[in-house]
Amino acid sequence: MKCVAVLIFCLVACSMASVNDAAPVERKHRRARDIIYSYFEVSAGATYSVSDYKTKSSKNYYHDLKRDEMVYDKDLYYNIYSFEGYSPWLDSKAGVILIRRIALYLSFGCFWSIGEYRYKLYSRDKDEYSEDDVRLRPYWGFGIKYYPLINEQNPFSGFFVGTTLRGVFLNDNEEAWEKYGMYYEDGETLIELEMGKIWKISEHYSVGFSIKAAGGFGGNTESIDGFHVDKHPVQDEDDVTLNSKHIGVAITFVRK
């Protein structure tokens, strides 16, 4: 049995050695070049977006101003801010593609949140404030994209899946939050998942589409030291919640 195993090992070793010897010099060079390429991508699209920020009450007492009574509510929330609308966006990616399959990139871009912004001081309040606005959200990040099929004869060649982690600056939110006495951080972390397909239009250029889904986390209040009356409260910084959701499509131009 041991002899058979040694024989199989020797045969496999010989066959591999013979394959390498037989490989032409030109093909060897080509393989080395195939390992890494530069990768650029520009895409434009739009997403349907909803955002929801709120702080869970820890004391659970609500001052009912109409009846001028204190009400205990174990499901009380305050500083409630929400958004619903559309977000057209522009994105650029630059990086490298490894073995023609795995793209690693940095991502820069921005989107505009166009829609209705709503504010409520306490969840039991009947009054709600609403504003229609357009707010710019620049971002930067990094990500990975995987092209599983590279055989151009395959009709599914150019199919990809990817994920990008982004830091988004929530411009213009701070001013609006302060107007209603709400103090959330003006940035959030966005995790985007996408899948799509590209078609070659020349040796290096491709065009395609992608479907995207993204979730934004963060938006907690800033911490301040000590006890203060008439200053904004501190929210637990470890309390990471899913604040925003986005789903949409994009047209993509790729150079690789």
Tell me the closest approach of the beta carbon of residue 212 to another protein, in angstroms.
35
Exposure of 176 in the CB half-sphere (CA atoms within 13 A): 22
245 C-beta neighbours (distance < 10 Å), count = 15
Tell me the closest approach of the beta carbon of residue 78 to another protein, in angstroms.
5
34/239 with CB nearer another protein? 239
97 C-beta neighbours (distance < 10 Å), count = 20
Of residues 48, 61, 140, 205, which one binds another protein by CB under 8 A? 61
Contact call for residues 141 and 165 (beta carbons, < 8 A): yes
- The verdict on 234 binding another protein (CB under 8 A) reads yes
Of residues 70, 152, 156, 202, which one binds another protein by CB under 8 A? 70
Tell me the closest approach of the beta carbon of residue 125 to another protein, in angstroms.
11
Tell me the closest approach of the beta carbon of residue 72 to another protein, in angstroms.
11
33/74 with CB nearer another protein? 74
Contact call for residues 151 and 140 (beta carbons, < 8 A): no
Residues 179-198 that bind another protein (CB under 8 A): 181
Site string for another protein, 197-226 (x = CB under 8 A): ---------------------------x-x
User: Residue written as tokens 């921005």?
Assistant: 110
Beta bridge partners of 130: 118
Tell me the closest approach of the beta carbon of residue 169 to another protein, in angstroms.
25
Q: Residues with Cβ < 8 Å from 234, sequence gap 6 or more?
A: 221, 222, 223, 224
- The verdict on 74 binding another protein (CB under 8 A) reads no
- The verdict on 29 binding another protein (CB under 8 A) reads no
Q: Residues with Cβ < 8 Å from 49, sequence gap 6 or more?
A: 83, 84, 85, 86, 87, 113, 115, 244, 245, 246
- The verdict on 233 binding another protein (CB under 8 A) reads yes
Cα gap 36→11, rounded to integer Å: 33
Q: Which residues bind another protein (CB under 8 A)?
A: 57-59, 61, 63, 68-70, 78-79, 121-122, 181, 224, 226-234
